[in-house]
Amino acid sequence: MSDNAILTYNGKSIELPVVEGAENEHGLDICKLRKETGLVTLDYGYLNTGSTRSAITYVDGEKGILRYRGYSIEDLAEKATFPETAWLLIYGELPTQQQLSRFRTLLTENALLHENLLHFFRQMPPSAHPMGILSSIVNAVGLFTPRFYDDENIADVFDLTTAGLISKIRTIAAFSYKASIGEPFVYPEAERSYCSNFLNMMFSSKARSYHPDPIMEKALNTLLIVHADHEQNCSTSTVRMVGSSHANLYASICAGICALWGPLHGGANQAVLETLLRIQQSGMTIEQVMEKAKDKNDPFRLSGFGHRVYKSYDPRAKVLKKLMYQVFEHEHFHDPLLDIALKLEEAALKDDYFIARKLYPNVDFYSGILYRAMGIPTNMLTVMFAIGRLPGWIAHWKEMHDDPNSKINRPRQIYTGHTARAWIDRDKR
């Protein structure tokens, strides 16, 4: 293969270097395109544009492969803890026992929020969406840690900030839920694991004891891991975009949370659950649902199938489907939404329309059902996504921050508005 591609325009030819990634993927380096030709590229949604080089996550949508720092999502989901995965993403290697012990200590020691922040939760409108509360409080947390703004380049300060964010985000999420239902806050406990602490803060109270089931801890741990990163998605790209201006980590993460809030991104898992509930309540047959989904003139949308990147079965969906069977068999309970989901998947995998368009179940298809089994309310599902995705956001912010070639992001455009016009006096309009 040639090391260069030739672009001919307006009688002039220029060479565009071909860059190669670690997994033999290739791309055109167009960094000098505008300078040498005056041209820019037009790429709606940046579907064909690489904005950076990254060593964090590899996705092969055709083969259904997802790896964090070279480790398969299947191995991590089965063998790793969420704190281990977070360390791997941020620092590039699996932690040693000493590193993991120190990281867990930092997570424990930094789980509490400044008491002044508790007023934020109490003054928020009862109808406020948890994602709005989450983004607001995360930004506010940064105001209570001013040292980071001055010393963010110091490794120890970054480590402390990273652990603080990963630990505090679950506290913020749990407190948001407690405030929405009018119950007292439950504080994190030092002896509990990351996942056990979150479940305890969510569901225990002075009026009732709560003992997190180990299978639910395992399920939560797995869910957080499969959501931890996914290359240059909308929210991660937003974190990089904002961080490219040298905005601090808190501001950048806050922007990522807001991007994730969108129904086409993090809100998809909630949409799946709402779709399954709608099917159940309507009494539609699976055949009727499939026909409505294929009818372009029908406003009905079957959420949870297809993915912008994956053109085969989403590997994260495979992990969650296996986990789902383990959870439901262990707990000996039944959810009619699961039956609907399984029948829909079976029908889709045999349907020519879905097969031709490579519409396979994605990660959102089963995640909502699993969170429902835990007792997580529907409006908290995107928040759960954010808790899992936080390590990936931090990893990308750090990678961009440490890259000497990083520049402030400034996309170009093709202008389609009016050409130069003369001013019209007010009395003549």
Please identify every residue annotated as catalytic. Answer: 307, 364
- Report the SS3 class of residue 28: strand
Residue 84 to residue 68: CA distance in whole angstroms: 12
DSSP tag of 305: B
With a cut of 50, list the residues of the chain below it in pLDDT.
none
User: Do the domains 65-262+378-402 and 268-374 sit in the same CATH topology, yes or no?
Assistant: no
CB 127 within 8 A of CB 166: no
Question: Distance of CA 102 to CAs 95, 226, 228, 428, Å?
Answer: 10, 24, 21, 73
Residue range 272-298, pLDDT digits in tens: 999 999 999 999 999 999 999 999 999
Domain 268-374, CATH homologous superfamily name and number: Cytochrome P450-Terp, domain 2 (1.10.230.10)
Q: Which amino acid is at 305?
A: F
Percent helix, strand and coil across the chain, each to the nearest 5: 55, 5, 35
Helix axes 214-226, 315-331, angle to 10 degrees: 170
**Residue ranges per domain, the chain?**
4-41, 65-262+378-402, 268-374
**Does 1.20.272.10 match the CATH number of domain 65-262+378-402?**
no
Q: 142: Cβ–Cβ under 8 A, 6 or more apart, which residues?
A: 148, 149, 248, 249, 250, 251
Residue range 151-196, pLDDT digits in tens: 656 778 889 999 999 999 999 999 999 998 989 999 999 999 999 9
Residue 146: predicted pLDDT: 62
Residue 420: predicted pLDDT: 97
Q: 292: Cβ–Cβ under 8 A, 6 or more apart, which residues?
A: 284, 298, 300, 302
Residue 404: predicted pLDDT: 94
151 φ, ψ (degrees, to nearest 5): -125, 30
